[in-house]
Structure 1
């Protein structure tokens, strides 16, 4: 963590107060800050060439070690201060953002008096995950899809809304670590886990002509909101 007396840095939210405390405190303060990051809103800047497309590609910075790192921020104002007032800054659920970017380094508040540089292992640790094994597949980009195959959203909504064990679900446009071809990712919250998912997917996709890859994942109902079209609104 870095801190310098200039330029002035007045905290804009609770996360920034914890960041300032962590920069000058000890292990307890750093632990409190890192615990708060996944539960907080984080900001990132969409690359200009992708701002009007379906693909979410985030701006990066290049630290001294020469490896590009995803630039993330504790407030929109911090992002605009670095990339300009017209930058396409967007807010994300912290855990969902870390889940997507964690295979690459990240820098929090680059160019600001208070910030953090995180290697992939540290990003994964903050959300209680381990780094993917070599050859594993994971989503590298998630975004709200502008277009979907005919009947897909309707079928998913009908099947998943009818099952009370499904506590929430989101459909995102996705790109994956093992392919440049875009597909879709269904992010589901249900306590029973993946056991019921095949049956639900079979009912949802009946009669749907799916010409793109569709992957699904399950997390517990307590997990933060996902990215994409809301198929099932969060419910008890």
Structure 2
């Protein structure tokens, strides 16, 4: 009887044990482990990477700015006075080329002096002496006229030269690079050279006129001496 009770009790308690055995254990809580040293290292790496990127951006900006500066330095001057200066020089040259009577030619001047300005032969007649005097007078008057024309041309070009000077100075002050400043300076030097050439041409024309007048006076004295000698010679004859 005791054995039967123990068996019954065993059978009754078996489901409970089986149920306990089949019941899954409660889920275990999962926790993330935080590593401060690893986090600090990651932050430092990210900061260094960002700094590297910023340095590269700054370098590219500096290079771009340098290229822009080089482009400005190599930019040509937008203003050119060459045509105006060349035109003034050409006008002065044309005025000199219109020289009357005696041109600016060495061979022609030598020939004219041999025929009209050197000492006359005592055997020359009055008609020859008169023709010589007329030729010299014509050359002297033409020389003064030519000098006046050159003067008028030079003075007439002063207005244009002043305008070019103001334009070049303005372009020089507004130059954005070394090349533009150098080109403006070169054009200013060209303007000075043009003005100097005008002064040389003016001095040449004035000197030519004065030389012709002086030569005319000297030749006139020689002609007068020849006339006087012929007159005295004819007066001594019986």
Instruction: Verify same fold: TM over 0.5.
Output: no
Structure number with the bigger relative contact order (C-alpha 8 A, sep ≥ 6) is 2
Relative to total residues, which structure has the larger helix share, 1 or 2?
2
The structure whose Rg is larger is 2
Provide TM-score, normalisation by structure 2. Answer: 0.18
Relative to total residues, which structure has the larger strand share, 1 or 2?
1
Provide TM-score, normalisation by structure 1. Answer: 0.18
